[in-house]
Amino acid sequence: MMKKAGFLILSLVVLVGGLSAQKQVKLVIAGRDGDYGNAMQIAVDAYTAKNPNVSIELLKLSGDDVFQKTVIDLKTGTGTYDLILIDDPNAMRYQQAGWLEDLDPWFKKAGGPVDSDFIQTTVDLCRYPNGPKGKLYALPFVGNVSLFAYRTDLFAKYGLAAPKTWDDVLAAAKKISENEPNVNGVSFRGVKGNPIMTVFLPMFWSFGADILDASGKPTVNSPEAVRALKYFLELAKYAPKGVPMNNTAQVRDGLLAGTVGIAPEIWPAWIGKLDNPNESKVAGKVKVTKHPAETRKSSPMIGIWQLAIPAASKNKQAAFDFFTFVTSKETEKLMVLKAGLPPSRASLFDDKEILAMYPWYPAIREALESGVARPRTLYWAEIENTMGGLIQEALIGEKTAEQALNEANAKIAQILK
């Protein structure tokens, strides 16, 4: 009896000792609010349910706050955060400064390079220098990209083919506006800065224009750029009168209400209700696709957010374990099904369960594969605000296309100095 009691006591000591040996780790994530925060919360809950020794504090911050807070923390090397979300245009600031953990050695230690299921354009932006040969500092958290939408019923009614070029779009917008009294041929965001730039850039790029040349000098007043802006101003004639004040709600709600024939800029988060007859008057009548081409190929704007581990993190092993969990195929699918987060893994765009919910998802994959990233510069925010303000001045008739772009080019040159 004494031997059995001694064995039980020893067993309990070993068990308790083993449990106490499992070090409790707390991870802090500088994440986003809204849909992105909801999706990350789903991943956090799934992970902590399987890993009770890890607690995770998820900060759901605005885009500006997550940028400002992480830059301050990483610049000082404080190490507050173990994982951070980075908006793609800001990625170069983090990559170039050496604030992020090089992930290649971690993946090598875990058994090999990051798998090839991620859409190449999205992973290339997570490397520095950008491209397949750069060091890997992040992985895409969301496969976000601008898309193009048009009313198939109206195109069929007027014998219009699916638009392959921007000239096709202009002709269709004109035809719809002239024949449908309650429908605007086109609608887009016209608010200065980021909104108007986001709708304009896929046109700008596909007309053969660039923000910066190979040497880093601004070229926004090139002949190709002027032609693109003149086209944009012509297209705007078939938009609502209040288009210079249009923002997300006006475009999305107009599309759902059936008062818009063509939306040259939409985002996956806007259109989750598009095929729901309880929410949309045009369910099943809107085609979502990548943008038309012009002198260059289709040029949708890539808008991914990247997930990275700060070099100053004090819990890198645990952070990497959660990092691989979040970016796994299984977790990406979970975030799609439960939160509508567009994936960045190619295989998920063929998933039957996902396609049953979002039949237009293959358009995201096509757009990502054709996608164009905003210029890799530390001054993109200033460039975007400056150029976007002047494009809006052209939209409301205060400047010609040439005047707006000449002024933008001069001001961008000053910004870069």
DSSP track, 225-253 = HHHHHHHHHHHGGGS-TTGGG--HHHHHH
- Kindly tell me if the per-residue pLDDT of 11 is higher than 70: no
Domain with CATH 3.40.190.10 in the chain: 24-144+303-370, 147-301+379-416
Residue 19 scores a pLDDT above 60: no
Q: Note the pTM of the prediction, 2 decimals.
A: 0.90
Name 356's Cβ contacts closer than 8 Å, sequence gap at least 6. none
pLDDT tens for 255-294 read 999 999 999 999 998 888 888 899 999 999 999 999 999 9
Contacts of 187 (CB under 8 A, 6+ apart): 239, 240, 243, 246, 250, 251, 254, 255, 259, 260, 262, 263
| Domain 147-301+379-416 in CATH 3.40.50.300 | no
Alpha-carbon span 271 to 210, nearest angstrom: 29
The DSSP symbol for 163 reads P
The pLDDT assigned to 272 comes to: 82
Q: For 33-38, which contacts have Cβ atoms below 8 Å and span 24 or more sequence positions?
A: 33/60, 33/61, 33/62, 34/60, 35/269, 35/339, 35/340, 35/341, 36/85, 36/141, 36/142, 36/305, 36/341, 38/339
Strand ranges inside 129-269, DSSP E: 135-136, 139-142, 147-151, 262-266
Give every CB contact of residue 388 below 8 A, 6+ residues apart in sequence: 192, 193, 194, 195, 196, 197
86-134 confidence digits (pLDDT tens): 999 999 999 999 999 999 999 999 998 899 999 999 999 999 999 999 9
CATH code linked to domain 24-144+303-370: 3.40.190.10
Instruction: Say if residues 189 and 251 touch (Cβ distance below 8 Å).
Output: yes
Six-digit token string for 63? 């885009």
Q: Which residues lie closer than 8 Å to 310 by C-beta, 6 or more apart?
A: 70, 73, 74, 79, 81, 82, 83, 84, 99, 100, 101
**Arithmetic mean of pLDDT over the chain:** 93
pLDDT, tens digit (0-9, with 9 covering 90-100), for 317-327: 999 999 999 99
How is residue 119 written in tokens? 């859409």
What is residue 22's predicted lDDT score, i.e. its pLDDT? 62
Q: Do the beta carbons of residue 366 and residue 289 sit within 8 Å?
A: yes
Share of the chain above pLDDT 70, in %: 95
Locate tokens 């910066």: which residue?
A: 212
In one-letter notation, the amino acid at residue 67 is F
